[in-house]
Amino acid sequence: MRHSTTKFIYQLSEIKARYDELTSSIPARRIYYSVKSNPNPKILTFISQLGLEAEVSSLGELNAAINAGFDAAKIVYGGPGKTIGDIYSATEKGVIYFSLESISELEKICFVEKSTGKKLNRILRLLVLDNHGRLNMMMPDSKFGITLDEVREHIGNGDGDGVYGIHIYRGTQIKEAEFRASIIKTNEVVSEIESIIGYKLKYVNYGGGLEWPFMHSGKPILTLDKVEGILSGIESCFEFGRYLVASCGILETEILDIKKRNNYQILIVSAGINIINGISASGRLIRQQPEFHPPNNKSDEIMLPTAIYGPLCTPVDYLTLNTLLPQLYPGDVLRIYNCGAYAANTGLSNFLIREPAQEVFIE
Ligand SMILES: Cc1ncc(COP(=O)(O)O)c(C=O)c1O
């Protein structure tokens, strides 16, 4: 059987370059890698060997991180909907840092602490209404986090040493200037929480979400000036996914079929929403318009209006309905850059049961 070319090609040196930029600009105690952005085992192992810690939001991600060598005792486990069973299983594997999304999660963690006798670090993920990213996680009806009012009502002053720290993740695709400005705003929330609970926090996770293009070329590299305002005398943390791994991946997809209609060339490519962009194709996120790069020997030719569809037997499986590309033929391979984050792991892989993409590494 002939396999079509649908390949994520990864270059680990790109991750090292992003790691160097982050660690030289951000004088924090700890930087987490957000496993959700790409849980490929070789990428996880590379990042754990660089010395970053992991941020996970499911037991599956936790297992992947531990298998790749991340230290469970430094992993932070977050995300909504944690059950007592999840918290219990994570503590069994050695996790002690939990980012809590609700007051009931706080109650669940107290329960697990009592039943296991283990001291767990309760980190309140706070909902503050000042989002700047392109994917808003801070709207008033958000499923994420605990509000300051809820902290006042349920935790109040003098609750022993119950709260270990806070976590504020404002959203993703945040511009550098906004990211830098958000540090001071988070520090204000640290003071506010300390005045509510009546004691000093030991931990602050400033979030991250620095921008990087998705399925488009471009490199918005962080400037070298040190990020200012990070609190000292406290475990100061940041978490990044796409900034670290987006640039390491290129997707190659083969043209399977071509039609000409109304002056349009209509391409059917091997990588549909089964392989990439499945989450936004569902309509829940802004639909992304990938930028396709033709083979090098065709880049000077006349450009034709082009629509690009995946091979799935459903009309929602399109990647772009209006772009310009030279005359192409079945068997030609198109490339999409910046496919290292939220790409290989966000296709609708079980939908119509097709061949998965390969994931390969180059020097
Ligand atoms: C809580 C949290 N932390 C970190 C991330 C990683 O964000 P990014 O990949 O934009 O850096 C996300 C992404 O959704 C998130 O929800």
Does the Cβ of 131 fall within 6 Å of ligand 1?
no
Does the Cβ of 241 fall within 6 Å of ligand 1?
yes
- Of 116, 118, 124, 117, nearest to 98 by C-alpha is 124
Asked whether residue 307 carries a pLDDT value surpassing 80, the answer given is yes
pLDDT of residue 138: 62
Pocket test for ligand 1, best of 169, 179, 212, 238 (most atoms within 8 A of CB): 169
Mean pLDDT (the chain) is: 92
pLDDT classification of 139: cutoffs 50, 70, 90: low
pLDDT of residue 133: 54
The phi and psi torsions of 153 (rounded to 5 degrees) equal -70, -40
Dig out the tokens for 8 from the structure.
């994520």
- pLDDT for 209-244, tens place per residue? 999 999 999 999 999 899 999 999 999 999 999 999
Q: Interior CA angle at 162 toward 35 and 195, to 5°?
A: 100
Ligand 1: nearest atom to the Cα of 57? 1
Q: Comparing 82-96, 135-149, 163-177, 336-350, which segment has the lowest mean pLDDT?
A: 135-149
DSSP class of residue 175 equals -
Does the Cβ of 209 fall within 6 Å of ligand 1?
yes
Asked whether residue 131 carries a pLDDT value surpassing 60, the answer given is no
pLDDT classification of 297: cutoffs 50, 70, 90: confident
What is the Å distance from ligand 1's center to 31 Cα? 13
pLDDT of residue 142: 84
pLDDT of residue 279: 75
pLDDT of residue 60: 98
Q: Comparing 50-54, 86-90, 349-353, 356-360, which segment has the lowest mean pLDDT?
A: 349-353
pLDDT of residue 262: 86
The phi and psi torsions of 37 (rounded to 5 degrees) equal -75, -30
What percent of the chain is predicted at pLDDT more than 70? 93
Count of alpha carbons within 13 angstroms of residue 135, beta-carbon side: 16
Question: Are 211 and 244 a contacting pair, CB within 8 Å?
Answer: no
pLDDT of residue 257: 97
173: region left, alpha or beta (phi > 0 left; psi from -120 to 50 alpha): left
**CA-to-CA distance for 52 and 47, rounded, in angstroms?**
6
What is the Å distance from ligand 1's center to 307 Cα? 31
Asked whether residue 179 carries a pLDDT value surpassing 80, the answer given is yes
Does the Cβ of 240 fall within 6 Å of ligand 1?
yes
Does the Cβ of 99 fall within 6 Å of ligand 1?
no
What is the Å distance from ligand 1's center to 34 Cα? 6
Asked whether residue 4 carries a pLDDT value surpassing 90, the answer given is no
Give the Cβ contact number of residue 239 at 10 Å.
24
Dig out the tokens for 165 from the structure.
């720290």
